[in-house]
Amino acid sequence: MNIGVVVFPGSNCDHDCEYVFKAVLGQDVTMVWHKETSVAGLDAVILPGGFSYGDYLRTGAIARFSPVMHAVKGFAFEGGLVLGICNGFQILLEAGLLPGVMLRNKSLHFICQDIFVRVENGATPFTSACRPGQVLKIPIAHADGSYYTDPVTLAGLQANAQVIFRYCDAEGRVTPEANPNGSLDNIAGIRNAQGNVLGMMPHPERCAESVLGNEDGQLILASMVEFLKKRLPKMVGA
């Protein structure tokens, strides 16, 4: 597979994503400069975490106008797999590829720690390796991760099983105490209606190796690779 990792000015998890797909999952990775106007030839696109454009004004607000985002939209529209992690999720929201906005964490602080999420939908290209309801331990690191949307949109997300991850405790209970940032409905990750675009605040690339003490993140990234292999049978083994 050829996984594209977009590099915006201020991206800082770009190398981490590159490393995990290459060194851990053995895939090819192409770094895509934000001024590129095409993502042709890529099997999936990752919008990595970081502080694109310093997160000035609003997180993701300026990055969405990068030339590459036009191509990413086209790619998503044609069914290409797009994963936005943290800042990447924020960019997807600002770009309108996913509905809603990110508000400041309720503590108003940046939070870096392990949290738990429950896999609410295991039948997606991003979660097929997980059991439905499986609890993943996975780190977050953000200041603006409190997901918000209007009630109608929220109802739609719920009805279409578009809420993929919810913050929960170690036993999988979705409680207010397990919500680290005040996110609506404990939302940690959502996908679009077609199902090929996922945004998530937690960082799977930070917990995909035993030396880091946690491999839960691999389930998500490996799901993507598996999905792509099945979708592109002619490329397998090529």
Partner 1 sequence: MKAKIHVTLKQGILDPQGKAIEHALDSLGFKKTTNVRVGKYMELDLDQTDRAKAEAEVKAMCEKLLANTIIEEYRFELQ
Partner 2 sequence: MPLITKDLIAQHNLTGDEYQKIIAILGREPNLTELGMFSVMWSEHCSYKSSRIHLKKLPTTGPRVVQGPGENAGAVDIGEGLCVVFKMESHNHPSFIEPYQGAATGVGGILRDVFTMGARPIALLDSLRFGELSAAKNRHLMKGVVAGIAGYGNCMGVPTVGGEIVFNDIYSQNPLVNVFCLGIAEKDKIFRGTAAGVGNPVIYFGSKTGRDGIHGATMASDSFDDESEQKRPTVQVGDPFQEKLLLEACLELMAGDLLVGIQDMGAAGLTSSSCEMASRAGNGIELDLTHVPRREPGMTPYELMLSESQERMLMVAKAGKEEECIAICRKWDLDVAVVGTVTGDGILRVKDQGKVVAEIPAKALADDGPRYDRPYMPPSYQDMLTNLNYDIIPDVKDANAALLSLLESPTIASKRWVYQQYDHMVRTNTTVRPGSDAAVVRIKGTNKAVAMTVDCNSRYCLLHPYEGARIAVAEAARNLACAGAEPIGLTDCLNFGNPERPDIMWQFVMAVEGIKDACEFLRVPVVSGNVSFYNETNGLSIYPTPMLGMVGLIEQADQATTQWFKAEADDIILLGTAREDLGGSEYLKVVHAREQGSPPFLNMDAEQALQECVLALIRGGLVQSAHDCSDGGLAVALAESCMSGPGRPMGAVVKLAPGRLRKDAVLFGESQSRVVLSTKPAHRQAILDRAERLGVPAAVIGVVGGDRLVVSLGNEQVAATVIDIPATALYDRWAFAIERTLKNE
* Residues that are catalytic: 86, 203, 205
The CA–CA distances, whole Å, from 92 to 21, 67, 115 equal 21, 14, 22
The CA–CA distances, whole Å, from 78 to 45, 73, 81, 82 equal 13, 9, 9, 11
Length of the chain counted residue by residue: 238
Does the protein bind partner 1 through residue 149 (CB under 8 A)? yes
**Contact with partner 2 (CB under 8 A) among 20, 32, 198, 220:** 20
Quickly count helices (H) and strands (E) in the chain. 5, 11
The footprint of partner 2 on residues 117-176 (CB under 8 A) is: 139, 141, 143
CA dist., res. 55 & res. 47, Å (int): 14
The footprint of partner 1 on residues 153-212 (CB under 8 A) is: 182
Beta carbon of residue 91, minimum distance to partner 2 (angstroms, whole number): 15
**Contact with partner 2 (CB under 8 A) among 2, 30, 31, 51:** 51
The residues with which 62 forms a beta bridge, in sequence order, are none
The alpha carbon of 194 is separated from its chain's Cα centroid by a whole number of angstroms, namely 16
Does the protein bind partner 1 through residue 132 (CB under 8 A)? no
> Which tokens hold the place of 234?
């002619």
- Of 13-21, 54-62, 113-121, 161-169: span binding partner 1 (CB under 8 A): 54-62
> Which one of partner 2, partner 1, none is in contact with 211 (Cβ closer than 5 to 8 A by kind)?
partner 2
> Which one of partner 1, partner 2, none is in contact with 104 (Cβ closer than 5 to 8 A by kind)?
partner 1
Does the protein bind partner 2 through residue 213 (CB under 8 A)? yes
Number of residues that bind partner 2 (CB under 8 A): 32
Residue at token pair 């030839």: 41
